[in-house]
Structure 1
């Protein structure tokens, strides 16, 4: 069997290569974490808007629809408020469609990609149940 020997001139090559790759690896991991959190928030907002539209289409009460949308997104931090939610039209007549839109600024944790990202969740339902 042949034994390979590393010459003295290559002793620190692996450490130098790791030091060069490490910042890129950390940036990729942080980007993956940021993307995952923002994607989860987007899904929660869309589901909350859909729930608000469903309640508005059935009960025709904007206050109850806002409360349903807020309660449908418990994992969103900071919490969705009534000011983030727009319901059009305000009165849901039979055969109309109601649209619930939630505009939200998602806070980013690392700051490498900005401090906040604007997200929108939208739900549309046919009025009258």
Structure 2
């Protein structure tokens, strides 16, 4: 006599597994994208600080250094940039440095999770005189 095998019905199991895992993968993908965008903004802030410090070290002009920072951070909202500059002084020594500190508010926005506000900061120091 032949043995009868009972077939189990697995139809729909893959759909249930997908329904359980897909939201996690989608949120992970959105998180990776949000982090990448925030990291890009951090690089822009750091570059703006470096350009401002370099310009301040060479020209010792606050207006030129601020303009260099705004030009380097052209993808950011200029009204939200906070720039603090330290000049070399009228007769800089070899050890004197020009410093630029820039801060920028940023909100990591992840769909279905919400937003997380942080302050991105960039700091650069250059020796005076170029």
Same fold (TM over 0.5): yes
- Contact residue 56 and residue 92 of structure 1 kept, 8 A: no
Q: Deviations over 1:81-111 (max 9, x none)?
A: 4851011247464231111011111132326
- What does residue range 57-68 of structure 1 map to in structure 2 within 5 Å? 57-68=57-68
- Aligned partner of residue 114 in structure 1, secondary structure: strand
- Contact residue 109 and residue 115 of structure 2 kept, 8 A: no
Alignment length (residue pairs): 121
TM-score (norm 2): 0.82
Give the strand-richer structure, 1 or 2.
Answer: 2
- What does residue range 1-129 of structure 1 map to in structure 2 within 5 Å? 7-8=8-9, 10-76=10-76, 79-81=77-79, 84-89=82-87, 91=89, 93-95=91-93, 96-110=96-110, 112=113, 114-129=115-130
Larger Cα Rg: Structure 1 or Structure 2? 2
Which 5+ residue runs of structure 2 have no aligned equivalent?
Answer: 1-6
Q: Which residue of 2 aligns with 1:3?
A: none
Which 5+ residue runs of structure 1 have no aligned equivalent?
Answer: 1-5
Return the alpha-carbon distance in structure 1 between the equivalents of residues 102 and 122 of structure 2. Answer: 5
- Contact residue 92 and residue 98 of structure 1 kept, 8 A: no
- Contact residue 53 and residue 98 of structure 1 kept, 8 A: yes
**Change in 2 beyond 3 A, CA 1:92/1:43:** farther
TM-score (norm 1): 0.83
